[in-house]
Amino acid sequence: MRIKQLLIGMTASVIAVSGYVEMAIADLKFPMLVYRTGAYAPNGIPNADGFVDYYKMINARDGGIGGEKILHPECETGYKTQVGVECYEKNKKDAMVFQPMSTGITYQLIPKATADGVTVYSTGYGRTSAANGKVFKWVFNAPVTYWDGASIAVRHILKNNFGNIKGKKIALVYHNSAYGKEPIRTLQTLSKKHGFKLMLLPVDHPGQEQKATWLKIRKARPDNVLMWGWGVMNQVAIKSAASIKFPMDKFIGIWWSGSENDVLPAGQGAHGYKSLTFNAPGTNYQVHADIKKFVHDKGEASGDGSHFGTVLYNRGLFQAMVQVEAATVAQKIHGTSKITSAMYRDGFENINLSAKRLEELGFKDFAPPFKITCENHGGSGLAAVQQWDAKTKKWNMITEYMYGDSDVVQKLIAEDSSKYAAEQKIAERCG
């Protein structure tokens, strides 16, 4: 009798579980590789909160994407490459897209995801040459790449020097990792083109101690310092720059070195520090009003809601919006709401975030419009310069969105992607 009961119970459980799995498959799975713990958590948390709040808002306001709820399981990477790869392996089944939030993890996932047929979206980070869609079918890095970033920073310096930086000295303080090394090649090419001297100053993880680096800068007196930093490295660098009285308006960070976290510890010393950005800070956007109404006011905010409107939170919103838009486009292309990973990729490759579409999505004036095509997975290549006002504790956009040096960047992308295609024996596509 007991055995019979047990068997009936087990059968019922199996039916229930398979029913759940069936339901889960019908939903759209957007696994999140996050780092809410460890040395980089202060940056990982607001970014992840932005993602989660956006997904929750879409589920609450629109009932999901085309009626399909978004599932967003989190996997903690601690910003560690190996753990990130394990997270990918655990979550890749039925996944629409992976946002690794680390250049190191992105590099590891590119061949794996390509083989598995899963989309990787590294928003403004990762392998720059992945912008070439002819070679990197499954990887997208729109709206702007690190090489665009390097050339936009140099363009800004050029503008402030009346178009002539010959003989000037530019130092690059960078995180000694795959991420930090990305702009070196572009800057070397640009230094030959414009005649400036490039100083390379690596800082090892985590970057808590940088005294020797800044003593070198104090002695060499570069005209400008660029920074590719992350986590505590940014805070220490900005504080050190202020301490040696380096002019802050000549210190420009990449978009990952320009959040509130990076400048607040330096207090008034950080006043005037600049960074590139591809999205606006603040809460004056329709998307924020919707998140407040459908998520925060219902007590559903990710975390304590304190990061709402910060630079990295807003970037998370932007990243999530692009990922959701890709699903919407895929559903339209394939005429079904129940899209597969392969269909999702098609959607990504046909994203057209025009000014009108951005407004419809609640992102009016939040970021410049961009389009993704079969050839171009890198987007518009537009970024602006923002500057920190330590008195009001606010970032202010001080330039329009501008393009980098496409002659230099496109040539480098073509070179690097061709090399990768040859190594991996990938035939170029897109006709």
Partner 1 sequence: MSVELLNFIETVLNGLMSGVMYSLVALGFVLIFKASGVFNFAQGVFALFAALTLVGYQTGQVPFAHLINELFGTNYHNWYASMPNFLAILLTMVTMIALAWIIERLVLKHLVNQDPIILFMATIGLAFALEGVGDLMWGSDVKVLDVGIPSGGSIWLEEATIGLAAEGSDYYGMYVDVLNIWATVIAVILVVSLALFSQYTKTGRALRAVADDHQAALSVGISLRSIWILVWAISGFIAMVAGIMWGTESGVQFSLSLIALKALPVLILGGFTSIPGAIIGGLLIGVGEKLAEIYIGGYFETGALENWFAYVMALVFLLFRPQGLFGDKIIERV
Using CB under 8 A, which of 219, 335, 391, 400 touches partner 1?
219
Please report whether residue 235 would count as binding partner 1 according to CB under 8 A.
yes
CA atoms of 145 and 124, how far apart (whole Å): 5
Please report whether residue 297 would count as binding partner 1 according to CB under 8 A.
no
Q: Select the span of 66-74, 243-251, 274-282, 419-427 touching partner 1 (CB under 8 A).
A: 243-251
Please report whether residue 338 would count as binding partner 1 according to CB under 8 A.
no
Is the Cβ of residue 164 or residue 306 nearer to partner 1 in the bound state?
306
CA atoms of 259 and 281, how far apart (whole Å): 9
Using CB under 8 A, which of 117, 206, 272, 282 touches partner 1?
206
Least CB distance to partner 1 at residue 285 (A)? 23
Using CB under 8 A, which of 27, 38, 286, 375 touches partner 1?
38
Is the Cβ of residue 265 or residue 272 nearer to partner 1 in the bound state?
265
The single-letter DSSP state of residue 428 is: P
Nearest to 144 by CA among 391, 404, 365: 404
Using CB under 8 A, which of 110, 135, 142, 201 touches partner 1?
201
Please report whether residue 37 would count as binding partner 1 according to CB under 8 A.
yes
Least CB distance to partner 1 at residue 214 (A)? 9
Q: Please answer whether residues 50 and 315 qualify as being in contact, where contact means their C-beta atoms are separated by less than 8 angstroms.
A: yes
First-residue to last-residue Cα distance in the chain:
68
Using CB under 8 A, which of 94, 303, 334, 375 touches partner 1?
303
Helix/strand/coil percent split, the chain, to 5:
50, 15, 35
CA atoms of 51 and 44, how far apart (whole Å): 11
Q: Please answer whether residues 98 and 31 qualify as being in contact, where contact means their C-beta atoms are separated by less than 8 angstroms.
A: yes
Please report whether residue 392 would count as binding partner 1 according to CB under 8 A.
no
Is the Cβ of residue 233 or residue 322 nearer to partner 1 in the bound state?
233
Least CB distance to partner 1 at residue 416 (A)? 19
279 — phi, psi (to 5°)? -150, 155
Please report whether residue 242 would count as binding partner 1 according to CB under 8 A.
yes
Contacts of 404 (CB under 8 A, 6+ apart): 147, 148, 149, 150, 151, 152, 155, 381, 383
